[in-house]
């Protein structure tokens, strides 16, 4: 039986897809995950077999570059020993600098490498590794940042979601609620804009609309301030930090306002929850913008640029969305068509087929 190591870490954007890959392959192969301490907080060790290999960020502090470079070389040596000791045949990288030592060690050991890229832009670490990789597994046939000489390495699948998402009921609402139900997902980055600007937008909307809000907040101070503001304005609300069962609660909401991480908008799209995407403007290579642009070009979401908008323009857009029901249900229908063929077993079969080649 082939032994597969999935290397991931850092943010949930890297780790969540790795868990989906693990679940898709674990019945047919011997699979393990390697992550760093930051990534481990997203992994339930009762359900996933993983090891910790911490990797320094070389450019986090230029004064520490020589020291971090030594640590980085040590992590390559540790990765080499780890891979050789465990006799892995295949490595799958979900990107991020923490994946580089294992990828480099894999090339030295002639271990097959597959790159997994859920974003519409090839990440920098994945771009470095692609010349050594067999394939890049991705969702977008027009993947940006990939050299023309590597186009033949593109292996398309539908967005690979968490396995349990495929069991959730989809949003089948054919009317917009009198009380507008709005989901707000700010993610871990750019929380200030969501906590401040979007909260103000909701309060302004509540003056003319009945509003119910399910909103992600990042810290205790923000939570208390937003709670106080919503209570003062008699807005029905539920605030949360992280909730992996969020979309069960939110499936019958009328609209989501969200960042544009690949996993988040893929899950919203699959569950047919209409959304306004406001990409995090400081994401590397502006990948969140291109993630959202993919849906906008397919006429299945609304896209706003953060620097060009404030609470008034967002309020006007939301009012327009709810007033123009023809456009609203047209986008919702397009979202459904876009995800029509996204099935767990189909994606699983495509991954297994790829691994079993040669």
Q: Characterize the bridge pairing of strands 154-156 and 255-258.
A: unpaired
Average pLDDT over residues 169-198: 84
b (16+ CB within 10 A) / e for 102-131:
bbbbbeeeebbbbbbbbbbbbbebbbbbbe
**pLDDT one-digit tens code per residue, 39-96:** 777 787 778 888 877 776 766 667 777 777 888 888 899 999 999 999 999 999 998 8
**Residue 156: what are its φ and ψ, rounded to 5°?**
-85, 135
The encoded tokens of residue 355 equal 């691994």
pLDDT-derived band at 358 (thresholds 50, 70, 90) equals low
Quick one: fold of 166-338?
Rossmann fold (3.40.50)
User: What pTM value is reported for the model?
Assistant: 0.90
Separation CA 133–CA 47 (nearest Å):
28
Is the pLDDT confidence value at 185 over 60?
yes
pLDDT over 70, % of the chain: 96
Region 1-28: mean pLDDT is: 90
Residue range 107-115: mean pLDDT, rounded: 96
Per-residue confidence (pLDDT) for residue 350, from 0 to 100 = 96
Mean pLDDT of the chain, nearest integer: 89
Q: What gap in Å lies between CA 222 and CA 241, rounded to an integer?
A: 10
3-class DSSP string for the chain? CCEEEEECCCCHHHHHHHHHHHHHHCCCCEEEEEECHHHHCCCCCCCCCEEECCCCCCCCCHHHHHHHHHHHHHHHHHHHHHHHHHCCCEEEECCCHHHHHHHHHHHHCCCEEEEEECCCECCHHHHHHHHHCCEEEECCCCCECCCHHHHHHEEECCCCCCHHHHHCCCCCCCCCCCEEEEEEECCCCCHHHHHHHHHHHHHHHCCCCEEEEEEECCCHHHHHHHHHHHHHCCCEEEEECCCCCHHHHHCCCCEEEECCCHHHHHHHHHCCCCEEECCCCCCHHHHHHHHHHHHHHCCCCEECCHHHCCHHHHHHHHHHHHHCHHHHHHHHHHHHHHCCCCCHHHHHHHHHHHHCCC
pLDDT digits (tens, 9 = 90+) for 22-33: 999 999 999 999
User: What size, in residues, is the chain?
Assistant: 358
pLDDT for res 190: 46
Q: How confident is the model at residue 297 (pLDDT cuts 50, 70, 90)?
A: very high
Q: How far apart are CA 125 and CA 71, in angstroms?
A: 18
Cβ(245)–Cβ(164) under 8 Å?
Answer: no
CATH 3.40.50.2000 region(s) of the chain?
Answer: 3-161+343-355, 166-338
Residue where the block lists tokens 């069960």: 248
Query: How many CA atoms lie within 13 Å of 135's alpha carbon, on the beta-carbon side?
Result: 15
What whole-number distance in Å separates Cα of residue 80 and Cα of residue 194?
A: 43
d(CA 353, CA 13): 25
- 173 pLDDT above the threshold of 70: yes
Q: Among the CATH numbers 3.90.1150.10, 3.40.50.720, 3.40.50.2000, 3.30.70.1070, which is that of 3-161+343-355? A: 3.40.50.2000
């Amino acid at each position: 039986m082939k032994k597969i190591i999935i290397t991931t870490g850092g943010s949930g954007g890297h780790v969540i897809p790795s868990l989906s890959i693990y679940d898709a392959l674990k019945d047919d192969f011997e699979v393990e995950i390697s992550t760093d301490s930051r990534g481990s907080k997203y992994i339930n060790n009762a359900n996933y077999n993983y090891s910790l290999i911490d990797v320094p960020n070389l450019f986090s502090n230029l004064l520490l570059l020589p020291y971090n470079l030594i640590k980085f070389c040590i992590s390559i040596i540790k990765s080499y020993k780890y891979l050789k000791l465990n006799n892995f045949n295949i490595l799958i990288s979900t990107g991020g600098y923490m994946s580089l030592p294992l990828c480099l060690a894999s090339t030295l050991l002639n271990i097959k490498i597959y790159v997994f890229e859920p974003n519409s832009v090839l990440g920098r670490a994945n771009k470095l590794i692609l010349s050594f990789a067999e394939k890049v597994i991705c969702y977008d046939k027009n993947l940006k940042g990939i050299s023309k000489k590597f186009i033949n390495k593109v292996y398309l699948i539908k967005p690979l979601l968490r396995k349990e998402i495929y069991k959730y009921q989809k949003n089948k609402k054919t009317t917009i609620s009198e009380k507008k139900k709005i989901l707000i997902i700010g993610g871990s980055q750019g929380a200030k804009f969501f906590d401040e600007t979007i909260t103000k937008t909701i309060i302004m909307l509540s003056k003319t609309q009945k509003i119910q809000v399910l909103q992600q907040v990042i810290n205790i101070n923000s939570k208390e301030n937003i709670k106080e503001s919503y209570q003062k304005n008699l807005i029905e609300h539920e605030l949360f930090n992280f909730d992996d069962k969020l979309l069960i609660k939110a499936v019958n909401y009328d609209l989501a306002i969200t960042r544009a991480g690949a996993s988040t908008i893929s899950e919203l799209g699959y569950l047919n929850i209409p959304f306004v995407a406001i990409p995090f403007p400081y994401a590397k290579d502006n990948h969140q913008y291109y993630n959202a642009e993919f849906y906008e070009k397919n006429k299945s979401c609304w896209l706003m640029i953060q620097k060009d908008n404030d609470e008034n323009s967002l309020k006007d857009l939301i009012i327009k969305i709810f007033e123009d029901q023809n456009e609203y249900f047209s986008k919702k229908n397009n979202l459904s068509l876009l995800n029509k063929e996204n099935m767990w077993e189909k994606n699983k079969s495509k991954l297994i087929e790829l691994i079993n080649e040669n």
